Chains A and B, each alone.
Chain A
């Protein structure tokens, strides 16, 4: 489970954690029944206050993303529904913004970005086959 926190951001750490777990579930990297690290484990790994992890898990439970089973741990409970088109686009937004911003800064125009993106996609598809 790849979590990257930015403690200097305005968003509280617990909500960054909630958002990233939700994104991992939405993106299929975490699926129904997967066990999340214990509060202590994750806190140690991220070097954050265990209460922050507990709070994030509590919110994920309220949101119906995980379920806490006494003595066993915290499990992903999200049904594997297909993402709506809006959710798909939502997932793309952050990386897209980053790509565009990098392109602007480097002075690459939009047409070039689109062309490069298309070429790269073809390359990746080719290696997958």
Chain B
């Protein structure tokens, strides 16, 4: 049992969180992320991606449920979690009037011996921030502030990295540099990245695990390979109102939309051809398979969950 927990970077059990009473952001949320993966947390704007990361970082207290990060309880061991997890929030949390140098002077001691000064220098250099450190952080561009935030998150060589919409509103050059730093970070074995994003084409080449968040909870959590290899996402068209298929354990979702039926089902036991046959037996006039890009699969799943 201990072995299992050690191999998980993050484990979330039955998490419930609400900002307003009776309006859950996360409800019955379960998730297990193995160590060594780059996990994409995908969902539409406002689906609770940031809230989830904030719960994992011990910034928000859920109504109930448990967040284990590197085997530690996010609420009870917040300090230790934060010393081992690098977190790049969607909005950098710097004091705008302080200069970059002052921010770093303030942050370094919090990590004690873990802080790698050489790495900090390299990162600042790489991002072209070295000469900007005397300026108040509020005067830096949005991209520069996010890069400074990434420097802080990486310089203490964390075991786990949380990135909240890392590339949103950054230009292509900065986006690429950001990605390269994440790849470089992952070159050390045993490290893990959780990457919340709605820019799916950006993360497709990077992630090996995917959690798709629907309404308040994951619609699906799987290795990307399984998502592409063993999940059939089909759109069946009928002459009249679309019928539903009999529910089965491998059926992930099905949704009627007039004459169209959208469905997603695991094909580990059966095959896509079996599903198509079942749909045709129900009177489908044509069945289209969603193209296997992560973006198309995501849209199909999330629309089907609406």
A58 to chain B, nearest CB (A): 13
- Beta-carbon contact of B184 and A7 below 8 Å: no
Q: Which of B54-62, B107-115, B117-125, B205-213 interfaces with chain A?
A: B205-213
**How many angstroms from the CA of A13 to the CA of B228 in the assembled complex?**
11
Q: Is B294 an interface residue (CB 8 A)?
A: yes
**Which single residue of chain B is at the shortest CB-CB distance from A48?**
B205
Given A7-B204, A10-B292, A13-B205, also A48-B229 (CB < 8 A): no
Q: How big is chain A's contact interface, by range?
A: 10 to 19
A5, A10, A50: the one contacting B183 at CB < 8 Å is A50
**Bitwise interface map of B from 272 to 293 toward A, beta carbon under 8 Å scored 1, else 0:** 0000000000000000000111
Chain A positions 10-37 with a Cβ under 8 Å from a chain B Cβ: 10, 12-13
Q: Are A48 and B228 in contact (CB under 8 A)?
A: no
B300 to chain A, nearest CB (A): 14
Give the residue name and chain of the A residue nearest to B180 (CB).
A44
Residue among B36, B186, B229 with the most chain A CB within 10 A? B186
C-alpha gap A47/B167 in the complex (Å): 14
Instruction: Answer yes or no: A69 CB below 8 A from chain B CBs.
Output: no
Verify A47–B206 contact, CB threshold 8 A. Answer: yes
- The CA-CA distance from A48 to B203 in the complex, in Å, is 9
Selected from B37, B180, B294, the residue in CB contact (under 8 A) with A47 is B180
- Which range holds the interface residue count of chain B? 20 to 34
Is there contact, CB below 8 Å, between A12 and B179?
A: no
Residues of B within 8 A of A49 (CB): 37-38, 183, 186, 206-208
Chain B contacts with A in 49-104, Cβ cutoff 8 A = none
**B5 close to chain A: CB less than 8 A:** no
The answer to whether residues A47 and B205 also contact, given A10-B228, A39-B187 and a CB cut-off of 8 A, is yes
The answer to whether A47 touches B176 (Cβ under 8 A) is yes
Q: Residue A78 at the B interface, CB < 8 A?
A: no
From known contacts A49-B208, A51-B208, infer whether A10 and B186 are also in contact, taking CB-CB under 8 Å.
Answer: no
- How far is B205's CA from A49's CA once the two chains are assembled, in angstroms? 8
Q: Which of B36, B180, B229 contacts A12 (CB 8 A)?
A: B229
Q: A9 at interface (Cβ–Cβ under 8 A)?
A: yes
Neighbour of B208 across the interface among A5, A10, A39, A52, CB < 8 A: A52
> Which positions in B face A, CB cutoff 8 Å?
36-38, 176, 179-180, 183-184, 186-187, 201, 204-208, 224-225, 228-229, 291-295
A-B contact list, 10 entries, CB within 8 Å: A13-B205, A39-B187, A40-B187, A49-B38, A49-B183, A49-B207, A51-B36, A51-B38, A51-B186, A51-B208
